[in-house]
Amino acid sequence: MATAKIKKTYQKPKGTFDILPEDQKYWEKVRKVFKHIALGYGFDRIDTPIFEHADLFGTSAGETSDIVEKQMYVFKSKGGDMLALRPEGTPGVMRAFMENGLFNMPSPAKLYYLGPFFRYEQPQAGRYRQFHQAGLEVIGDKDPIYDAQVINMLVIAAEELGLKNLNIEINSIGCNKCRPAFRTQLVRYYRARAAKLCKDCKRRLKENPMRLLDCKEEKCEQLKAHAPNLIDHLCEECHDHFKCVLEYLDELEVPYSLNSHLVRGLDYYTKTVFELFLEDEHVEGGSEKTHQRSRLALGGGGRYDNLSKMLGGRDVPAMGAGVGMERIIGIMKRQSIKVAPLWKPDVFLVQLGVLGKKKCLKLFEELRKAGIATGEAFGKDSIQAQLRSADRAGVKLSLILGQKEAIDGVVIVRDMESGSQEAIAMEKVVKIIKDKLKK
């Protein structure tokens, strides 16, 4: 007996998602706001490849970082090159800066980007394997004023998107001068408590002790609470730099709190590091609804004065930051933040009969060229069905063109609110419609 062939169906890969038409307005809103702010601060756009040589990220983030060890999508090309889908933006931007000789740009070079990134990790709310970031990079100046400016720009972007209850957590992780002494104390503290560490942190204790402060395991979080503070071991230069950053943030009235154990898990960071959080209140269901507060990380960044040298270049101070677009859009939808539709018609074409449909097709093009947003339902023959579509679209005017109107060279203009109608000569309809819409 022959077995029936099972028809295969396809689904999106785990950790990815489709951006459906109904959600596009949120994405365009975030892109528009971020672009507007970046241009307002003198930033130029840069786009780098979605994949790079894998060792670019190993060298910059650190071979023992979670990104490199666990999260990168690495593959070998047909030519034998080891490539990786980009897990973050900064190394690629710095590579492009060095490779293309952007040292000749006005200093500092201010660059922004928007695009997809990839990390293999367990999907959860607001976090995906393919995700999107908006990022800022200031390359070529060590002045702490740029640290504060970049932080302020992220806060402004979030506020302009309607988000409230924002807070910056900030710290300084020092430089190569002051970190060694701190690292010694950190190792001494954790070595005495090594038995209580998670498996990854036991390895970090040997390979990269600073990463101990970045662990999110509950038992490691408890140990971190009493660990030495790097901020107490800063050299004079790092201390003065951090002091200036905080003073600039005070001047800008940016809300922040000090987190002496914030390090961010990438090797290239120096001095200032920060994260942007939102205190989000939501309602839990059930017979007795309760208000719960959650703390959501929207993004972060820091200074990376050593990255250029790590990649084989000369010393180039730099500061950068990025925000996760999915997380922001999720909050906007949950908080019912209003976003205007991408397109809304001003008028609607209603046609009847073959000749009326032909004339409507041409009239549609004339209206479009005149900058009049025009809706249509060319596939429908019923006038009533088309008028219902016009009503749902919320247009002010409908233009009705049937066989008789086409022969007479006129268009019936219907006011959708009052229901009044008038016949207008075909050659005058575009100008008259523009005048009516202005009123």
Question: Tens of pLDDT along the chain (439 residues)?
Answer: 556 677 788 999 999 999 999 999 999 999 999 999 999 999 999 999 999 999 999 888 766 666 777 789 999 999 999 999 999 999 999 999 999 999 888 889 999 999 999 999 887 777 899 999 999 999 999 999 999 999 999 999 999 999 999 999 999 999 989 988 888 888 888 888 888 888 888 888 888 888 888 888 888 888 888 888 888 889 999 999 999 999 999 999 999 999 988 888 677 899 999 999 998 665 455 555 555 567 889 999 999 999 999 999 999 999 999 999 999 999 999 999 999 999 999 999 999 999 999 999 999 999 999 999 999 999 999 999 999 999 999 999 999 999 999 999 999 999 999 999 999 999 999 999 999 998 7
Question: Which strand (E) or helix (H) includes residue 53?
Answer: strand 51-53
Please give the Cα distance from 438 to 415 (Å, whole number).
14
Beta strand pairing call for 256-258 and 318-324: unpaired
For residue 49, what pLDDT is reported?
Answer: 98
Residues 6+ apart with CB under 8 A from 123: 14, 15, 129
The response to whether 80 counts as a known ligand-binding position is no
Residues 6+ apart with CB under 8 A from 114: 31, 34, 35, 45, 132, 133, 134, 135, 325
The response to whether 264 counts as a known ligand-binding position is yes
Could you say which of 309, 334, 359 is where a domain stops?
334
For residue 63, what pLDDT is reported?
Answer: 63
Residue 165 shares a structural domain with residue 303: yes
- Phi/psi of residue 153, nearest 5 degrees: -65, -40
Q: Which two tokens stand for residue 30?
A: 């975030």
Residue range(s) defining the domain that contains residue 116? 21-178+234-334
The response to whether 269 counts as a known ligand-binding position is yes
Look up residue 216 and give its DSSP letter: -
The response to whether 137 counts as a known ligand-binding position is yes
The response to whether 73 counts as a known ligand-binding position is no
Sheet of 82-85, strand order = 51-53, 82-85, 74-76
* Cβ-based neighbour number of residue 391 at 10 Å: 12
The verdict on residue 390 lying in a domain is: yes
Residue 78 shares a structural domain with residue 149: yes
Residue 281 shares a structural domain with residue 413: no
Could you say which of 306, 334, 362 is where a domain stops?
334
* Cβ-based neighbour number of residue 181 at 10 Å: 13
Our count of domains for the chain comes to: 2
Q: Which two tokens stand for residue 100?
A: 């293309």
The verdict on residue 150 lying in a domain is: yes
The verdict on residue 74 lying in a domain is: yes
* Cβ-based neighbour number of residue 379 at 10 Å: 8
For residue 122, what pLDDT is reported?
Answer: 83
Residue 319 shares a structural domain with residue 358: no
The verdict on residue 208 lying in a domain is: no
Look up residue 414 and give its DSSP letter: E
pTM confidence score: 0.88
Residue 292 shares a structural domain with residue 403: no
The response to whether 414 counts as a known ligand-binding position is no
Q: Report the SS3 class of residue 351.
A: strand
The verdict on residue 199 lying in a domain is: no
Residue 330 shares a structural domain with residue 418: no
For residue 212, what pLDDT is reported?
Answer: 84
For residue 403, what pLDDT is reported?
Answer: 93
Please give the Cα distance from 158 to 328 (Å, whole number).
8
Paired with 375 in beta bridges are: 348
Q: Which two tokens stand for residue 246?
A: 């905080």
For residue 284, what pLDDT is reported?
Answer: 52
Residue 267 shares a structural domain with residue 415: no
Q: Give the Å distances, CA to CA, from 273 to 159, 255, 321, 340.
A: 21, 15, 9, 35
Q: Which two tokens stand for residue 227?
A: 């660990």
The response to whether 133 counts as a known ligand-binding position is yes
Residue 255 shares a structural domain with residue 125: yes
The verdict on residue 274 lying in a domain is: yes
Q: Report the SS3 class of residue 249.
A: helix
The verdict on residue 340 lying in a domain is: no
Question: Which strand (E) or helix (H) includes residue 243?
Answer: helix 236-252
For residue 200, what pLDDT is reported?
Answer: 84
Could you say which of 288, 306, 334 is where a domain stops?
334
Sheet of 166-172, strand order = 44-45, 109-118, 130-139, 318-324, 290-303, 270-284, 166-172, 256-258
> The domain that contains 359 carries what CATH number?
3.40.50.800
